[in-house]
Amino acid sequence: MADTRRDANRVITFLCVSAVNQTTPVPIHVNPATGAMIVEAAVGAANTGNVKRDSNRVPTVLGVSTTDGITIVPVQANPATGAMLVETT
């Protein structure tokens, strides 16, 4: 399991939940030259459920379902690449 990183002021980095097992927190990767978040197209069904946390109890990111605007859905990332999954329309 990955723990979130903190800056000198103890501000946490962005954590998502693994798209492979929907439980393991995964830190999001950013291109240091551009500051752009690394993303890839999402494949598969979204997982709903309670927020996942790293070993320091830092929570992963949650969103609201586009289907009903109510259901809580964890934001997922590829654990191999650290890329946040995005859906293109």
Answer for the pair 46, 73: CB distance below 8 angstroms, yes or no.
yes
User: What was the pLDDT predicted at 70?
Assistant: 73
Residue 59 has phi, psi (to 5 degrees) of -80, 155
Strand 39-41 and strand 84-86: the pairing is parallel
List strand residue ranges (DSSP E) for 1-83, in order.
Answer: 15-18, 25-27, 39-41, 62-64, 72-74, 76-77
User: What was the pLDDT predicted at 2?
Assistant: 62
Low pLDDT (below 70) residues in the chain: 1-2, 42-51, 88-89
User: What was the pLDDT predicted at 75?
Assistant: 83
CA–CA distance from 58 to each of 1, 3, 9, 51, 77 (Å)? Answer: 12, 8, 16, 10, 16
Sorted by sequence, the CB contacts under 8 Å of residue 10 that are 6+ apart come out as: none
d(CA 70, CA 55): 28
